[in-house]
Chains A and B, each alone.
Chain A
Amino acid sequence: MNEVSVRPRETGVPAGWEAVIGLEVHVELSTASKMFCPCSTRFGAPPNSQVCPVCLGLPGVLPVPNRQAVELAVKAALALNCRVATYSKFDRKNYFYPDMPKNYQISQYDLPLAGDGYLEIPAGQGSKRVRIRRLHLEEDTGKSMHAADDIVTARYSLVDFNRAGIPLVEIVSEPDMSTPEEARLYLEKLKAIMQYCGVSDCRMEEGSLRCDINVSVRRPGQEAGTRTEIKNVNSFRGVERALAYEIARQVEVLESGGEVEQETRHWDEGAGRTHTLRTKEYAHDYRYFPDPDLPPLVLDPAWIEEIRRSLPELPDARRERYIREFGLPPYDAAVITASRALAEFFEETVRVYPQPKTVSNWVMGEVRRYLNESGLEPEEIPLQPAALAELLAMVERGAINMRVAKQVFTEMCQTGRLAPEIVREKGLEQVSDEALIERAVEEAIAANPAVVADYRKGREKALGFLVGQVMKATRGKANPQVVNRLLRDRLGLPGTEGV
């Protein structure tokens, strides 16, 4: 094994080298029931509570395809600009694994549901097209749990089959990406598209979006080198880090005169490195053949068209519309439309409070900050758009100042209460009473002669300190504009000694 420790450079690709990257992404479809049986797909149920003879692969059972799964897969394919096959079939992928009930997985091999598509990722000022080679349907396997850190030292292992039979689409890209960042952007875009068309919730931490990476390196202009496959990378950051590591490892092997071995590697998120899972020598012979229990999947072109018409506005279209309709800067539009939930929250808020740029600032700033800090997904924003609109309106009419508004926002998210209630209860209304503020201004000036002198010597910054002192004295509630004006009135222009 060629383990090296590396620090990714700017692009994640060492100078004088090029990386060739393709991704295979498994997306769990948001169906109510499993791919071939009526069992529930709900996440987090007690182990083996959502199983039946069919998904357990008991002797004698037969699979029956779930129409909703096929529909969602077609939707995903169309959203990725793929050609959908009116004739595809299910195959068996044979290999022994304890969490696989039948010791074969029903998948699609030589005649996949769809292929020949693409998606656009941001690149420089424009965008880059990453081609999609194929998209096919398959069933998920169960999940093993070992009574130790790994299968080798475990005294025993247990298997949970709740996940066995959950419908997945596997989306295989062409090796069109050349940096770890592009791979991450691709994955982010893929996730956004899947969420937009309601195909999947794409919760990576629940395994409903999983990624295998194929990567090789080469000297510019030369043939692609031997590639390795990195299995089961489960975060955007993981994809970038695993790739940076693996690219550097391959380059180091080649620069030291070695050869990259064709193998499957595992990404260890904790250790920040990849290691060998199995080499080509032990590559699987899956013995694919058409599943005799399932007739070919024949789709009516009219049905495919119907699904196409039902596709919602996808991220790219929505981004353009935000620029056009709301006058948002392209950067804002891109950030907000990267998540359907975020975009919908934005639009709802704008509908009630029609100041797009203000709303966009809040969504990109406070809303995202809160989600990050509390580890929530955009779908889980604990606040109604109308509630945010109300808060923004309070700022606009001067009822509270911005500083208080941010504080109130956090509390709204935490408690689910509304802004006026919080403001009233805590007495956070903005103070614009000039007499009151004037008193505080005078106190601040009297208490800080040195700062006042500094200001008068022309140091504009000193004013900020005094403003801060006044705000502090008014418990943050003073109208900052009034404070500024009164201070300037009392101090005169900077650089004018004496009064």
Chain B
Amino acid sequence: MIAQAADAIRKGELRARELVESCLSRIAGLDGLLGCFLSLDGERALERAARIDEELARARQRGAGAAGPGGMRAGTREAAAEADGVLAGVPYACKDNICTRGLRTTCASRILEEYVPPYDATVVHRLARAGAILVGKTNMDEFAMGSSGENSAFFPTRNPRDTTRVPGGSSSGSAAAVAAGLVPFALGSDTGGSVRQPASFCGVVGMKPTYGRVSRYGLVAFASSLDQIGPLTLTVEDCALVMEVIAGHDPRDATSAQVSVPNYREALGRDVGGLRLGVPREYMGEGIEPGVREAVNAALRVFSDLGCVVEECSLPHTEYALAVYYLVAPAEASSNLARYDGVRYGLRVDAGDITAMYSRTRRQGFGPEVRRRIMLGTYALSAGYYDAYYLKAQRVRTLVKRDFEQAFSRYDLLLAPTSPTVAFRLGERTEDPLSMYMADVCTIPVNLAGIPAISIPCGESEGLPVGLQIMGPPFAEVTILQAAHAFEQATAGAPWRKREGERR
């Protein structure tokens, strides 16, 4: 769909400015109810769209089909390159923990309420270079900590499929904005499932790439060894297209992988017959809602029908993943969030001395979930507890990783539900952090192992979307997208697909 829009814009059948205007008016109409956006950048978006339209018109006049090289004045060279990009004129939204130069980046936290970064994240830069137009920054759980979108310091986001329900989190605003058709695509970040789980709750496609596949430069860190930026889109093809733009080595990120990026879209049509798919039994047992299990089982039958070999398998250390995650992630977060102290930027609450200033600023600036995790992490790293908690968690993390390595020696991909449940009601779990943590139980192991995974809509339960999670070995995004696309094609006529289409 994005590709078609970009194509129409390139041919002059659709003006980028019109597309941006329609996004902005849809946002104006619906976002009061949904709460997807924390900041909008309408004026700049419209300016950029107009510039791209102009460039494209000029290029069409020259008949080259694209902006020709040479002879261009400085300043327009950039515009010409944007107009020539694969996403030229396509609007998008970006989670508010990804830095945007000149546009505030709050992480949905009081402590960064007025913070305006002086630089763009690498992904934002790459999307701009490809011609994509940022329309605004989306709501999220504060510092990406949460699974429902209710931990925003400003206001919660609602699920467009049922506004009494949560959209999932922490990339709540991004998932809901795409699901509600406010923007064609959005970026989220996934530390323990924060792209896939809301994608599942909102009925859209969400991918968490291999760790190191997409640069983290400019992503405000929550847990550095787990965080990864990923796209939220309506279709698998759109996901592949955005991945092509944002993936690839970045010299500004030392953990960024030096692995070349394949042409994901080209691979989409390939036959998936003969693919070996494992279904880990640990993801299909107790705790998985019957409706979810049913939808996933139906999806497995689709894959069988496509000629895939579908077998049950085992990832024996899955049961420890949640505990490992809740030691490693808070430990890293406690250190990453230490810089928010009121000294250099963001909120400062004045006090008699520097120590009091630190603690009052942090107490007022951070919400309860963030404070809870900072304390957990500080404790896990402190002298005398390090070995028992952090170090042990890292050892178990290795076991979780090894589980996947062994599974991938036998299977091309692994299939599982994205979430044990469909979207729950707003307020339903806010008083019970542990039940909230369970929302990410199916997605967390993927982050611990650093492997790629996607969540795609695979059916409905209680009239709400169910997500299918497809996991692959490192850098096998291409196989994942291929399988996801094949499933999407095969279920194009399914009744739940039809209802989905009607709703839009």
Contact = CB atoms under 8 A, between A and B. Distances in A.
Contacts of B65: none
A62 B339 contact: no
Interface of A is mostly: loop
Contact of B335 (A58, A151, A289): A289
Contacts of A295: 254-255
Interface in B183-220: 216-220
A293 interface: yes
A96 B341 contact: yes
B112 interface: yes
Given A59-B99, A103-B341, A287 B335 contact: yes
A293 B117 CA distance: 20
Interface residues of A, number: 29
Contact of B354 (A53, A56, A98, A101): A98
Contact of B381 (A58, A98, A151, A289): A289
A62 B343 contact: no
A102 interface: yes
A289 B387 CA distance: 11
Contact of A104 (B105, B225, B335): B335
Nearest to A291: B224
A56 B346 CA distance: 14
Interface string A40-67: 0000000000000100111111111100
B354 A62 contact: no
Nearest to B143: A59
A247 B22 CA distance: 78
B121 interface: yes
A123 interface: no
A39 to B, nearest CB: 14
Given A103-B339, A293-B224, A294-B254, A60 B381 contact: no
Given A65-B254, A103-B339, A293-B224, A59 B332 contact: no
Nearest to A54: B252
A101 B339 contact: yes
Nearest to B359: A96
A410 interface: no
Nearest to A64: B254
Contacts of B112: 59
A375 interface: no
A60 B339 contact: no
B: interface residue count bin: 35 or more
Contacts of A285: 382-383
Interface in A290-318: 292-295
Contacts of B216: 62
A92 interface: yes
Counting chain B CB atoms within 10 Å of each CB, the highest count among A58, A61, A104, A294 belongs to A61
Q: Residue among B334, B344, B386 with the most chain A CB within 10 A?
A: B344
A4 interface: no
Nearest to A157: B354
B105 A62 contact: no
Interface in B320-346: 331-332, 334-335, 338-339, 341, 343-345
A58 B115 CA distance: 10
B338 A96 contact: yes
B251 interface: yes
Contacts of B300: none
Contacts of B220: 59-60
A60 B252 contact: no
A63 B383 CA distance: 26
B252 A104 contact: no
A53 B335 contact: no
B24 interface: no
Contacts, number: 96
Contacts of B225: 292
A276 interface: no
Interface string A11-24: 00000000000000
B221 interface: yes
Contacts of A145: none
Contacts of A53: 117-119
A94 interface: yes
B99 A94 contact: no
A293 B107 CA distance: 20
Contact of A64 (B251, B378, B386): B251
Interface string A264-300: 0000000000000000000001011100111100000
B344 A59 contact: no
A224 interface: no
Interface string B253-280: 1110000000000000000000000000
Given A60-B219, A64-B254, A287 B382 contact: yes
Contacts of B154: none
Given A287-B381, A289-B381, A104 B251 contact: no
Interface string B119-132: 10100000000000
Interface string B222-233: 011100000000
A62 B217 contact: yes
B132 to A, nearest CB: 19
A30 to B, nearest CB: 23
A159 interface: yes
A289 B115 CA distance: 28
B121 A60 contact: yes
A65 B381 CA distance: 25
B357 to A, nearest CB: 9
Nearest to A57: B339
B390 interface: yes
A35 to B, nearest CB: 12
Contacts of A292: 223-225, 255, 332
Contacts of B343: 98, 159
Given A64-B253, A104-B338, A56 B99 contact: no
Contacts of A65: 254
Contacts of B119: 53, 58
Contacts of A159: 343-344
Contacts of B390: 289
Nearest to A102: B339
Contacts of A289: 331-332, 335, 381, 386, 390
Contacts of A293: 221, 224, 254-255
B496 interface: no
B254 A59 contact: no
B477 to A, nearest CB: 21
B252 A64 contact: yes
5 contacts: A53-B119, A62-B252, A98-B343, A287-B386, A294-B255
Given A103-B339, A285-B383, A294-B254, 7 more contacts: A58-B119, A62-B253, A94-B338, A94-B381, A96-B355, A151-B354, A289-B335
